[in-house]
A and B are shown apart, each in its own frame.
Chain A
Amino acid sequence: MPYLPLPRTIVPVVAMATLVLVALLGWGSFRDPETLWAPGDLSRYHADVARCASCHEPFRGPSSVKCIGCHSETKFAERSKTAVGTFHREVITQQKTCLACHTEHRGALAQITASAMFNPHGEFIFRATGTSSCSACHQFGTRFGARPTLLDNDTIHRLLEKGHGEHHLGRMADCLKCHTAGQYEAGKGDHERE
């Protein structure tokens, strides 16, 4: 069934409207690029200090090199807790990607570290193992949010032996369930007080 031809003015009107919008977007890209291009607001940690180019390299995406520009080894050594500082200095030395654990543009109040990366054992684990970094026992992947895996090394073997069967997978994160305030509580596990 034939339809009537389009009115002649329609295409130029839409083309002009598109052109005006593109010009406005171009202008806005210099004034407020985040509103036009970002998939979400920056977190409170970066909102006042970072611009797009602070973290992104053109056509390469967010870059660990840019992260390290601000979050340098020196900064970690000076300002962080020992475990956090040691871990991040290792990550920087090994040139691993920051994006495996960190993200952005999830809103001002959002956490930018993947939830799996908080220390479920508490600081107690470092005293128990004599280590100072999460990477002494865990392998961290390169995909954001992926759970770290357990290494097969002497530290792990010693910890398993110490627990006499109580330190098994799935229970390791619950240190403080039995070791209240760092002391072993009788009756909550079968192994001897360490």
Chain B
Amino acid sequence: MTPLSRRLTTIIVLIVAAVAGAFLFESFLSIGSPSPFAHTRQGYLLGWIGLGIILLVFVYPIRKRIGRNRRWPRGWFQIHLVAGVVGPLLIFLHSGAHVHAMVPLLALAAMVVVVLSGIVGQGVHYLALRTLNDRRRQFHEEGLGSEEIDLRLHRMAAQEEAFRMWQSIHAPMTLMFLVFTAMHVIGALYFGGL
């Protein structure tokens, strides 16, 4: 197993365990209650908290794009990573494993795509890109020609290319997530009351 596939497997296992854990905990909280936890006052409150934490992730891209002379906002990037995992986990706890309506389902699906692409980008693609560049530098130092290096790194470059897909998904899909989340929140307030 290559380091890349080991990293990918670890991430998949952790994600499945975290989501299953959130669903199981929601089921546990629903025991003895006439309504599922997700439909209780506490469940709604958790949705608001999850959304609040998720909104923190947007500080990083905003800071990154505004004021180009400033340094890369490392602190906000770390908050982006943590809030991008904790917030969605609270949303899984808020939703439980019994989604019915299409609008929150679409918001949840868009959230999953954004979070998964972000995790793959940070956890897998970054490793692939770093390994590829390290190996390329190593071959250069050994005196190999560019064509020879490209030939030797063909498989690794193809992998890096494949995982680069996260970049095309992560930021653009945020738009879809925000639109459906806004619709879900407005719908919940419209039908459930302010």
Contacts and interface: CB of A to CB of B under 8 A. Distances in A.
Interface of A: 1, 3-4, 6-7, 10-11, 13-15, 17-18, 21-22, 25, 28, 35-41, 52, 56-62, 103, 105-106, 114-115, 144-145
A164 B163 CA distance: 78
A4 B121 CA distance: 13
A144 B102 contact: no
Q: Is the interface of B mostly helix, strand, loop or mixed?
A: helix
B35 A103 contact: yes
Contacts of B35: 103, 106, 144-145
A26 to B, nearest CB: 10
Contact of B179 (A18, A35, A39, A58): A18
Contacts of B179: 18, 22
B60 to A, nearest CB: 15
Interface residues on B, range: 20 to 34
B189 interface: yes
B194 A60 contact: yes
B39 interface: yes
Contact of B175 (A3, A11, A41, A56): A11
Contact of A25 (B102, B164, B176): B102
B193 A3 contact: no
Contacts of B133: 1
B34 A115 contact: yes
A41 B100 contact: yes
Nearest to B100: A40
A60 B192 CA distance: 7
A121 B144 CA distance: 90
Nearest to B106: A21
Contacts of B130: 1
Contact of B193 (A25, A59, A105): A59
B174 to A, nearest CB: 9
Contacts of B176: 14, 17-18, 21
Nearest to A2: B129
Contacts of A59: 189-190, 193-194
Interface stretch (B62-70, B151-159, B165-173): B165-173
Nearest to B121: A3
A52 B171 contact: no
B126 interface: yes
Nearest to B105: A36
Contact of A39 (B34, B101, B193): B101
Contacts of A1: 126, 129-130, 133
A25 B183 contact: yes
A14 B173 contact: yes
B172 A37 contact: no
B103 A37 contact: yes
A28 B38 CA distance: 25
Contacts of A17: 176
7 contacts: A1-B126, A38-B100, A38-B101, A59-B190, A59-B193, A103-B34, A145-B35
Interface centre among B126, B164, B192, by most chain A C-beta atoms within 10 angstroms, is B192
